Amino acid sequence: MPSSARTGRVDPRLVAVLADDEPSGRAAEWPAPAGTNDLGDRDAVARLFARGPRPPGAALVAVDETTSAQLLHELAVAEELAGNALAATTRASYTSHVHGFTDWCRARGIDPLQASAHQVGLHLSGYAVAFGENGQPRRTADGKLVPAVAAVSVSTRLAAIDKAFELLGRPKPGDDPELRRVLRGIRRTFSVRPRYAKAALDLPRLRRVLTVVHAGRFEQRREHALLLLRARTRATGGQLARLRWTDIVLEPMRVTITLQPERRGGPVRAVTVTAHRDETLCLVTALRNLRAAAPHLKEIAVHADGEPIARTTVYQLVERRLPAGLDLTAPPGRLDAALRPALRPDKAGGSTASLRDAAALLTCFFAALRRSELTTLTWGQLAWIGGQVRVFLVTSKTDQEGEGDELWLPPVADPLMCPVTALNAWRAHVTELTGADPVTRFPDEPVFVSVDRYGRARRDRAGRLRPLNDHGFNEMVQRRCLAAGLVKPPTDPETRRQWRNPFGGHSCRVGFVTEGLRQGLGIAEIAEQTRHRDMNTLKRYQREYDRQHNNIAKKLVEAAGLALAT
């Protein structure tokens, strides 16, 4: 069928979207259907924030059934470009907030577009305060109101309502003095200090999380070490279960293991094992690899999150892998030949979820990215140069017009903590999934994709990999931090219902700032990577860090010659 552009015919759907005046001359109340005034229509609200700030009656040009198809398409492009005046994340946030406002209006029989400033103030008050099941506002033991959301969220909701009214050519409720007084009262009552500021995922914590992310590889290394410990030292399952890293002295060419008594009152036994020329059969190499994978763990026979493994389970882990009837007293050559089939060489690798999560966490940390910057990153924005990875940000929160910025990810000697190694592994895995190198073949596709609960990459109907969104990244960080034991939810059901995970998508960025301050970097140096325009934000982080680590009370203790407890 020939297009309207070729035939010169007008597509009436374009007219309906672009015209501020219907052919009859009656004003169309866009974005709601002609003849209605329903800001509560969810699709209409989404379209509202996707158009330019042009009130009804202020058409770019007169549009009717005689308008040429070419002009209509040009007008459509102009509308699309005007819609980009708001960042995508801002449009999504405003849409969600306006939905909340219109739902509140609908429940009370109020026309959202006719809502007075007083009614908007009532809505913001109800949004800010937590209410119980009896409909009464909740209060603390001393009678103070309990907040339902952070004060900054209330300000954002009003900004969204104001923008909706502005785009529809109506007075903004937020300009009303009485409403501004209500907002000031909310901010003073509940404080503007972030209630749910995310905890820092600094390097030590990040290492713990990555150990859990690569739990499969950690478990392989742990079993490898336990098998060789059993074979080389003849330790029992109970001795292996009690073995701690303080019982092990690793040297370049040998290792000395102190084994606790097999039974109460028995002798402590020290065993020295020299390095083997075959790394697969070498206990020194196995223990060194295990230590490198999880240097924060204190015991050998533990899970990736630090939880100990029961003695019987340790015994089963070892015995199920060792050949039946293995003679541990056999000559070295014969013992090696019997052990070799049970041992697997240490290999890099992992599941889709573990490779994606490791690459996302390390990229987010070392580039100090915001959640939206990470989830919108495409393969074309990455370049492998001189052993490093260059990340080119087209736009960001502080660069809405797209001047662009370059960030560099450095190579780290420890493969567990190396962003370049993690991205290389993820790139190779995506190449395997898609059949082509994503950097050269799919430069506009997202780097980080969505993964289902079975660990498989999600695809759309066209077979393309679906991108990881902000919520998905936030949920992944929280889930991984829980698994790593960085935080434990309350056991009490009521307390647990109100509990919030202190970690989230912003934790990597906060962790970069915290780690930078800990290592003595200046605010200006940190800002080069974080791209903060407002230095007051970084100064707040520095004040909080100094109060904890360089506070006056601590200096007084040191000046008085008193020893600080460790």
**Tens digits of residue pLDDT in 415-426:** 899 999 999 999
Verify that 321 and 451 share a domain, yes or no.
Answer: no
Verify that 290 and 359 share a domain, yes or no.
Answer: no
Verify that 164 and 246 share a domain, yes or no.
Answer: no
> Which of 299, 320, 342 is the last residue before a domain boundary?
342
Verify that 373 and 336 share a domain, yes or no.
Answer: no
From the number of C-beta atoms within 10 Å of its C-beta (0-12, 13-18, 19+), residue 485 rates as middle
199 inside domain: no
Verify that 338 and 371 share a domain, yes or no.
Answer: no
508 inside domain: no
Verify that 114 and 163 share a domain, yes or no.
Answer: yes
CA distance 342 to 80: 62
Residue 39 to residues 110, 471, 518, Cα–Cα distance (Å): 11, 26, 50
Interval 317-345 mean pLDDT: 83
Contact 49, 123 (CB under 8 A): no
Verify that 287 and 331 share a domain, yes or no.
Answer: yes
Contact 65, 15 (CB under 8 A): yes
Extract the tokens encoding 419.
Answer: 């962003």
6 — pLDDT class (breaks 50, 70, 90): very low
CATH number of the structural domain spanning residue 405: 1.10.443.10
Verify that 68 and 96 share a domain, yes or no.
Answer: no
528 inside domain: no
Domain count for the chain: 5
57 — pLDDT class (breaks 50, 70, 90): very low
Q: Is the pLDDT confidence value at 59 over 50?
A: no
526 inside domain: no
Range of the domain at 550: 534-566
> Which of 342, 368, 384 is the last residue before a domain boundary?
342
Q: Is the pLDDT confidence value at 543 over 90?
A: no
The pLDDT of residue 468: 94
Residue 184, helix vs strand vs coil: helix
Verify that 462 and 546 share a domain, yes or no.
Answer: no
The pLDDT of residue 93: 84
CATH number of the structural domain spanning residue 128: 1.10.150.130
> Which of 190, 205, 236 is the last residue before a domain boundary?
190
More confident residue, 131 or 17: 131
Verify that 60 and 94 share a domain, yes or no.
Answer: no
> Tens digit of pLDDT for each residue in 136-191?
888 888 888 888 888 888 999 999 999 988 888 889 999 999 999 999 999 888 87
> Tens digit of pLDDT for each residue in 292-318?
888 888 999 998 878 889 888 988 888
403 — pLDDT class (breaks 50, 70, 90): low
509 inside domain: no
Q: Is the pLDDT confidence value at 124 over 60?
A: yes
Contact 537, 517 (CB under 8 A): no
Q: Is the pLDDT confidence value at 128 over 80?
A: yes
Verify that 301 and 226 share a domain, yes or no.
Answer: yes
CA 276 remoteness from chain centre = 42
404 inside domain: yes
Verify that 438 and 557 share a domain, yes or no.
Answer: no
523 inside domain: no
The pLDDT of residue 11: 41
Does the pTM exceed 0.85?
no
For residue 92, count other CB atoms closer than 10 A to its CB. Answer: 16
273 — pLDDT class (breaks 50, 70, 90): very high
